[in-house]
Amino acid sequence: MNPLLDLKLLFVTGKGGVGKTTVASALALLASQRGKRVLICEVDAKGDVAGFYETSPTAFHEREVLPGLYAMTMDTEASLREYLKLQLRIPVVGRIGPLAKAFDFVATAAPGVREILTVGKFCYEVRERHYDLVVVDAPASGHIIGQLAAPQAINSLVKVGLIRSQTDWMLDILSDAHKTGLVAVCTPEEMPVSETIELAARVRDETTVQLSAVVVNRVLPELFGRQEEAVFDALGGAGPLTRLSELVGGDAGPVFDAARLAVTMRRTRATHLDRLRQGIDSAVPLLYLPYLFTRSHGLRTTRQVAASLGEELGF
């Protein structure tokens, strides 16, 4: 059995369009179905997570959307307020506006400050053991490194002060491979695979976080075995195809064209899959999710994906 869901903090990332939010939502759902108390947090604030659970929009303050499953949306200002209150014991009464604005301003220039607030919030939830598992629908792969490396960046820039001591305990949580993990989502296509290989290398070199799994989404089914493929080719030949069309009373050409498209697509994708297997450390498990023949998303789809993930994890 894969211990992925025994971690306390999971960051889920991936190139845009590969199904990152789907996988994050499904992982959180799966963990909650297995009796865990789970928090899922959306960092990009596009509101997609709510869509995947078919629930009303989520906010900074978490809400139970399904039994044992809590959802929230990251909001830097709200996080700052909470941070000041909890970590620094600075009560913020009423107007945080000017301060937040000033902070925003400093954060734009002082690298990592904003990221610290985001990552800090998750680490805090883990430290306080409010949940068995925190799943982060993290920024796309281009941005995740900056976020995960922020505590170190701050540590090297800031030598003293409260924020320095804050980053120390965050780093303890982030570098603990039994607590924190990164899940990279990709599809068996050229750019997503290249980006995942690159991401794996950067995670290793630039952060203290461990890459715990790569989820390969939208894997097409193998239609035929070798012998069957010969039969398929023969059936699609001019003679048999005409005969078949006569027998069923309609043109079978398009039906075979579609199957041919499916076969070529799978073949193109197989080469990218090979590249992925070679480019990723063999200790990192690859989890495969089938292509879902639907283009909608919603709770039903999320459940389907959760079930597939459960199988891949050996449940």
Partner 1 sequence: MAAERASHRGRAGRSAPAESGEAPDRRQSLQTSSAGSGSMDGLLATKEIVIACGPGGVGKTTTAAAAGVMAAVRHGSKVLVLTVDPAKRLANALGLDGIGNAEHRVPDEAFRAAGLKPRGELWVAMLDTKESWDALIRRHAPDKQTREEILANPLYQNISGKFVQSHDYIAMERLYEIHSESDYDLIVVDTPPTRNALDFLDAPQRMADFFSSRLLRWLIVPYRSRLVNMATKPFYSIADRILGTEFLADISEFFILFQSMYDGFVERSESVGRLLSDRRTTFLVVSTLEAVPLREAEYFAEQLVSRRLHLGAIVLNKVLPDYLRGSEGTVVADAMNERSDELSALLAPELAALDPVMGDTDQISRVLGEVADSYLNFQVVALREMEERAMLSVVPDVLATVPFFDTDIFDLAGLVRLGEQIWE
Nearer to partner 1, 44 or 172 (CB): 44
- Smallest gap, in angstroms, from Cβ of residue 217 to partner 1? 11
6 Cβ partners below 8 Å, 6+ apart?
Answer: none
Footprint (CB under 8 A) of partner 1, residues 286-315? 293-297
We find the least distance from the C-beta atom of residue 313 to partner 1, in angstroms, to be 25
Q: How many angstroms separate the CA atoms of 125 and 183, rounded?
A: 19
Query: Is the CB of 56 or the CB of 242 nearer to partner 1?
Result: 242
Q: How far is the CB of 121 from partner 1 (least distance, A)?
A: 15
45-64 binders of partner 1 (CB under 8 A)? 46, 48
Query: How many residues bind partner 1, per CB under 8 A?
Result: 80
Interacting span for partner 1 (CB under 8 A) from 125-133, 142-150, 277-285, 307-315: 142-150
Chain positions 202 to 241 lying near partner 1, rule: CB under 8 A, are 223-224, 227-228, 230-232, 234-235, 237, 239-240
Q: Which one-letter amino acid corresponds to residue 1?
A: M
**Beta carbon nearer to partner 1, 4 or 150:** 150
Q: How far is the CB of 182 from partner 1 (least distance, A)?
A: 18
Work out which of 262, 270, 286, 299 binds partner 1, going by CB under 8 A: 262
Minimum Å gap between C-beta 41 and partner 1 is 15
Three-state SS string over the chain comes to: CCHHHHCCEEEEEECCCCCHHHHHHHHHHHHHHCCCCEEEEECCCCCHHHHHHCCCCCCCCCEEEECCEEEEECCHHHHHHHHHHHCCCCCCCCCCHHHHHHHHHHHHHCCCHHHHHHHHHHHHHHHCCCCCEEEEECCCHHHHHHHHCHHHHHHHHCCCCHHHHHHHHHHHHHHCCCCEEEEEEECCCHHHHHHHHHHHHHHHHHCCCCEEEEEEEEECCCCCCHHHHHHHHHHCCHHHHHHHHHHHCCCCHHHHHHHHHHHHHHHHHHHHHHHHHHHCCCCCCEEEEECCCCCCCCHHHHHHHHHHHHHHCCC
Select 33 or 141, whichever has its Cβ closest to partner 1. Answer: 141
Q: Please name the amino acid found at residue 284.
A: V
Q: By CB under 8 A, tell whether 274 contacts partner 1.
A: no
Comparing CB distances to partner 1, the nearer of 166 and 212 is 166
Q: Decide if residue 256 touches partner 1 (CB under 8 A).
A: yes
Residues sharing a CB contact under 8 Å with residue 16, sequence separation 6 or more, in sequence order = 140
* Contact between 84 and partner 1 per CB under 8 A: yes
Nearer to partner 1, 249 or 314 (CB): 249
Site for partner 1 in 178-207 (CB under 8 A): 189-192, 194
CA–CA gap between residue 93 and residue 70 (Å, rounded): 27
Q: How far apart are CA 229 and CA 235, in angstroms?
A: 10
Cβ 266 to partner 1 shortest distance, Å: 10
Among 252, 273, 276, 309, binds partner 1 (CB under 8 A): 252
* Among the listed residues 130, 178, 250, 300, the single contact to partner 1 using CB under 8 A: 250
Stretch in the footprint of partner 1 (CB under 8 A) among 14-22, 26-34, 119-127, 168-176:
14-22
Q: Which is nearer to partner 1, 34 or 220 (CB)?
A: 220
What values do phi and psi take at 167, rounded to 5? -70, -25
